[in-house]
Chain A
Amino acid sequence: EAQVTQNPRYLITVTGKKLTVTCSQNMNHEYMSWYRQDPGLGLRQIYYSMNVEVTDKGDVPEGYKVSRKEKRNFPLILESPSPNQTSLYFCASSFLATGELFFGEGSRLTVL
């Protein structure tokens, strides 16, 4: 089944403890992106990647890192999480210039 898979789906952690949220897609999409969803603020883009080894900042990149070593994977790294990074995170992918993003199920992160 064609899909975007994120892990973990739920995570509670403490301030400063490094964590990684993985994202994998099996549709051979060039474009991958991370969003965070917060009440009243909608979806805000954190980072995106247009192909392997090509990544760029979105609208809210502070406190996050990403890498794109393989086409199918696009992990989101929080080196030193803080409570203001408590949010629902979505990974998405698409073919370039189609506008049709395919989303993962979301990862709910709580930083205490």
Chain B
Amino acid sequence: AQRVTQPEKLLSVFKGAPVELKCNYSYSGSPELFWYVQYSRQRLQLLLRHISRESIKGFTADLNKGETSFHLKKPFAQEEDSAMYYCALETSGSRLTFGEGTQLTVNP
């Protein structure tokens, strides 16, 4: 069965420091992976998807099929990056399986 694991429930960094939010998945098919973000008092929204290979708000994520990982990275964290981040795996029929989420806090 498909599964998404985010091993860190809480992550705290200082402004300007690099940040990496970990995501591991298990899925027998060809994975489609996403990162969603929920800022305080805002709706959950798509941050980026692996298939587009783009950088959004300075974040990037590379799909590593060998390690079954899709870690989210940013070289220099900003205070406005503080939010809850969810990794998600798309399986059949548009279904998304989400991880447990990582609450990122960027301290000034």
Contacts and interface: CB of A to CB of B under 8 A. Distances in A.
A87 to B, nearest CB: 14
Interface of A: 31, 33, 35, 40-45, 48, 50, 58-59, 90, 92, 94, 96-101, 103-106
Interface string B29-51: 00010101000000111100100
Contacts of B43: 103-106
- Main secondary structure, interface of B, reads strand
Contacts of B81: none
Contact of B44 (A40, A90, A99): A90
Contacts of A31: 94
Contact of A96 (B34, B94, B100): B94
A42 B99 contact: yes
Q: How large is the interface on B (under 10, 10 to 19, 20 to 34, 35 or more residues)?
A: 20 to 34
A92 B90 CA distance: 14
A97 B94 contact: yes
A99 B34 contact: yes
A44 B96 CA distance: 9
Interface of B: 6, 9, 32, 34, 36, 43-46, 49, 86, 88, 90, 93-101
Nearest to B36: A101
29 contacts: A31-B94, A33-B96, A40-B9, A40-B100, A41-B100, A42-B98, A42-B99, A42-B101, A43-B44, A43-B86, A43-B101, A44-B98, A45-B97, A50-B93, A50-B94, A58-B95, A59-B97, A90-B44, A96-B93, A96-B94, A97-B94, A98-B94, A99-B32, A99-B46, A99-B88, A99-B94, A99-B96, A103-B43, A105-B43
Contacts of B34: 99-100
A41, A44, A101 interface centre (most CB from chain B within 10 Å): A101
A79 B96 CA distance: 26
Given A48-B94, A99-B90, A101-B96, 7 more contacts: A42-B98, A43-B101, A59-B97, A92-B44, A101-B36, A101-B44, A101-B46
